[in-house]
Structure 1
């Protein structure tokens, strides 16, 4: 069989194979098969040296013609495949500019954090500073400097998670009051502060209790601070949070770190004070505890309790959120249920 016949067969085979190609990879494989360094055209060119001298020019010209034809067909096929791929991509990625845009969900602060922020704003407006302290606390600050010595029966209500015999997860944010009292320079003015944060207690989880919850505790220490100052401060806070229509009352109570101590109630929002199941028919809902700072607390912090006095209070943002939004189970705040949480946005 002559070289001319071989080249013609290579040409026809190449034309047919190129027509059948459906992918870029198949086309590249054909290009290597026919035009590569070890391809069929290259092998045919190497056979020219074995021809008589008179036949070599014509054979060389024919080999180059076949090579150029196949190269042109391959280039055209490449453009065809690229055009087809672009057409498919345009169809797949088509955008209807007349359609409305997609709304992506935007996050918002947790409802408990919103209540804390609201409380902070109220007290900052009254000249208080906001201080935060460690959640892992020394027993000395958490209990003893709050007038709760070892074996005090009131500790049973605040039993907590101990890390060592002297280190625990704080049961209240009051330790920050003791820490601040130790450092405050009263020659520069009174102490007015609140301390928000997470607290921990070994408690049974039920609709109104949790082993972890939030507190905002506050303290004011200066000359001539009275229970009237305390009442006015708390009345202003509750007024800004719940509105003017609700009333507030103080009831005698007991806390180791205040004397005298009071429980603070406000009108039941569910029945407007008429009496219902929520307030157990009393018309009042307990919202926080407060009182005049016990002289022992001042003394242990190095403050002259004969010259200075003041009041302290502790409010639970979780409790306020339940009252404000009618939530009946405190555990709902911590379940990360977006359907529940987004209703407060």
Structure 2
């Protein structure tokens, strides 16, 4: 047993620990109950009394050597870890790094500007569900069943229920407002809409609209024109021209398309305006009496106008962006260009 003790002493003194894993291996081999030192204590139990007295002191000395060596290893590792942590502490004397602020998405920035302009002239905001029923999305807006006007909307219908669809315009929100609020009504409805269209540089199946509705006594087409004149001048500048072209929408009569002079070529003609000098930004018109009646508003007493425009189209004009897909690709290089938008 003496020879084993001497061999273990030499092994303990020569043992090197540099990691926590190696420290645990040392503990298991020399200090734990099932260690080689523990095995020697178990052998001592069956020895003669004289041998126990002599070898007991020797084994206790070996155990103390192993324990002290273990404590030494622990202290060395703690010192080493402390030095590494200290090395990773940043130099507090260095100048601070400037804040890395994100950029506001151009769609959100344009939407905020549009809302601000209309809020200043009395419009409030209204929101509604993006998954709509047939009544609010079509029927209440004077889209008769099987009427060709429904084909103007390439709709995403819910397969299990053909009366439920993703809304094709935020006009459905206006219907809900008319059902739950008595005139006068002056509301703006921004939000996402969905059309089953092929994605290209000029079209997308998901985009944003903002639609306005004003209903009161003696509202005329003149009020509509002046409202849109004000909006265009505020958003695009005082030198921007505006024109109205006759058109057709089921929910307004008369109806018009709204064009502005191309702010990219200044009306001279370019590929954005198809060399006409004009760019369409939306549609508008006087609310059809049938729409008022469907929402229990007396068309003999009240009249109103409505307008709608695509936020992507306006954003493309404001920032001279030529591809609609850039808005949804989340390309950081594209988004960083709008850091200075307020």
TM-score range, shorter chain: 0.7 to 0.9
The answer to whether the Cα contact below 8 Å between 1:202 and 1:211 also exists between their aligned partners in 2 is yes
Cα 1:49–1:232 shift into 2, 3 Å = same
- Residue 85 of structure 1: CA displacement? 4.1
Q: Summarize the alignment of residues 17-96 of structure 1 with structure 2, pairs less than 5 Å apart.
A: 17-22=12-17, 23-32=22-31, 39=38, 42-43=41-42, 46=45, 49-51=48-50, 61=57, 63-91=59-87, 93-96=88-91
Look up the match of 1:293. 287
- Residue 328 of structure 1: CA displacement? 1.1
Equivalent residue for 2:329, pick from 335, 338, 344: 335
Look up the match of 2:151. 156
Q: Summarize the alignment of residues 195-344 of structure 1 with structure 2, pairs less than 5 Å apart.
A: 195-344=189-338
- Residue 13 of structure 1: CA displacement? 3.2
Cα 1:304–1:15 shift into 2, 3 Å = same
- Report Cα offsets for 1:258-311 as digits up to 9, x if no partner: 122121111211111223332233222111111111122112222111111011
The answer to whether the Cα contact below 8 Å between 2:130 and 2:167 also exists between their aligned partners in 1 is yes
SS in 1 for 2:162: coil
- Report Cα offsets for 1:170-199 as digits up to 9, x if no partner: 21111222222222223xxx1101111111
- Residue 318 of structure 1: CA displacement? 0.9
CA RMSD of aligned residues (A): 2.8
Range with greater deviation from structure 2 (131-140 or 57-66): 57-66
Cα 1:148–1:35 shift into 2, 3 Å = closer
Look up the match of 1:130. 125
Q: Distance in 2 between matches of 1:34 and 1:128?
A: 81
Q: Distance in 1 between matches of 2:263 and 2:98?
A: 36
Q: Distance in 1 between matches of 2:307 and 2:33?
A: 91
Q: Summarize the alignment of residues 6-21 of structure 1 with structure 2, pairs less than 5 Å apart.
A: 6-7=1-2, 10-11=5-6, 13-21=8-16
- Residue 146 of structure 1: CA displacement? 1.3
Cα 1:103–1:49 shift into 2, 3 Å = farther
The answer to whether the Cα contact below 8 Å between 1:10 and 1:40 also exists between their aligned partners in 2 is no
Range with greater deviation from structure 2 (25-34 or 174-183): 25-34
- Residue 166 of structure 1: CA displacement? 1.9
Larger Rg: 1
Cα 1:82–1:48 shift into 2, 3 Å = farther
Q: TM-score, normalised by structure 1?
A: 0.85
SS in 2 for 1:323: helix
- Report Cα offsets for 1:89-109 as digits up to 9, x if no partner: 544x35333555566754444
Structure 1, unaligned runs of 5 or more: 1-5
Look up the match of 1:168. 165
Q: Distance in 2 between matches of 1:225 and 1:198?
A: 28
The answer to whether the Cα contact below 8 Å between 1:268 and 1:284 also exists between their aligned partners in 2 is yes
Look up the match of 1:193. 187
Higher relative CO (Cα under 8 Å, sequence separation at least 6) belongs to 2
